Amino acid sequence: QVQLVESGGALVQAGGSLRLSCAASISISRFSAMAWYRQVPGKQREWVALINDDDRTTYADSVKGRFTISRHNANNTLYLQMNSLKPEDTGVYYCLATFNRDYWGQGTQVTVSS
């Protein structure tokens, strides 16, 4: 059973930084891709960033240049470094990993105050 556990969410002022973590219960080298999504109440879950098993990364236009996705195979963890945070970055951030099927974590709350 694959489990993903996010952490690192917090309340932060606009312009600040946070680093989110997603710890996997299996070796993340087995995942073909991992990604971060976010969701606010009343809206659809929104894709934020993706990293492939060859470490190629892609980002939503809204976070490009401010967020960095990375993976650390040795500790089976996916990261999202978020800089220059804006109030519109507020939401619950979810980790997604693909290994034969998609797996989701439970989410971690990020709140950016203006």
**Quick one: DSSP state of residue 89?**
G
In the prediction, which pLDDT does 1 show? 85
| Whole-number Å distance between alpha carbons of 27 and 92 | 25
Whole-number Å distance between alpha carbons of 47 and 55: 17
Q: What is the pLDDT of residues 57-113, one digit of tens each?
A: 999 999 999 999 999 999 999 999 999 999 999 999 999 999 889 999 999 999 999
